């Protein structure tokens, strides 16, 4: 990666690029680390924003799945450098290996070929804005209540839970997505 990218990522990790330049290797490693299987980079259809999607667990995140490891690694090395209590070793990420300095460019290119950004990921992201002032129809409330496990005959007083669930906004960064093949909704 170019030096500008390394410095920007280092600052994002919390590295003081002036006083801790000897720890910039952590930022370089973070920029060249392999994306662990089954994560893939995806592009939101509506705004082109990059996010990461785990095709086994169906989890999506905005930050690279290995970023937290590199934050922990920096905290560990920084504390050790300054003689402070050292946090526990960073938790290794299954399936991740770091490219050596002479293989960094090859690893980046291999990742680009294996998982190209812009490739149809098999789903579409919806920017669904819920109008909280509009009551959901009774059929939707009953169906959602049953899905939640509420017995609509004996527990009618609990239907407010289903109504609330149908009108609440998704927390950031969650987005509703629709599978292209079968139209099934997931988050």
- Whether the Cβ atoms of residue 24 and residue 15 lie closer than 8 Å to each other: yes
* CA max distance for the chain: 67
In this structure, the strands spanning 123-125 and 60-61 are unpaired
Tokens 């089954």 -> residue: 38
Distance from C-alpha of 6 to C-alpha of 18, rounded to nearest angstrom = 13
Q: What is the pLDDT of residues 5-30, one digit of tens each?
A: 999 999 999 999 999 999 999 999 99
Q: What is the pLDDT of residues 60-119, one digit of tens each?
A: 888 999 998 899 999 989 999 999 988 777 766 655 544 333 333 333 333 322 223 444
Distance from C-alpha of 14 to C-alpha of 95, rounded to nearest angstrom = 25
Residue 168, token pair as written in the block? 């609440």
Tokens 């770091």 -> residue: 98
Q: How distant, in Å, are the alpha carbons of 54, 100, 119, 137 from that of 109? A: 21, 14, 16, 51
**pTM, 2 dp:** 0.50
């Amino acid at each position: 990666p170019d030096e500008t990218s390394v410095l920007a990522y280092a600052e994002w990790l919390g590295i003081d690029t002036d006083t801790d330049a000897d720890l910039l290797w952590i930022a370089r490693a973070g920029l060249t680390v392999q994306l662990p299987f089954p994560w893939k980079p995806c592009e939101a259809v509506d705004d082109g924003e990059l996010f990461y999607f785990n095709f086994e667990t169906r989890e999506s995140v905005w930050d690279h799945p290995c970023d937290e490891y590199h934050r922990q690694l920096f905290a560990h090395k920084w504390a050790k450098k300054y003689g402070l209590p050292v946090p526990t070793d960073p938790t290794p990420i299954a399936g991740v290996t770091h490219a050596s300095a002479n293989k960094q460019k090859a690893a980046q290119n291999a990742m680009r070929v294996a998982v190209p950004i812009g490739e149809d990921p098999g789903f579409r992201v919806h920017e669904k804005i819920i109008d909280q002032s509009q009551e959901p129809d009774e059929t939707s409330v009953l169906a959602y209540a049953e899905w939640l496990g509420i017995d609509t005959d004996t527990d009618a007083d609990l239907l407010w839970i289903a109504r609330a669930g149908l009108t609440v906004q998704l927390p950031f960064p969650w987005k509703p997505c629709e599978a292209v093949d079968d139209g099934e909704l997931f988050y």
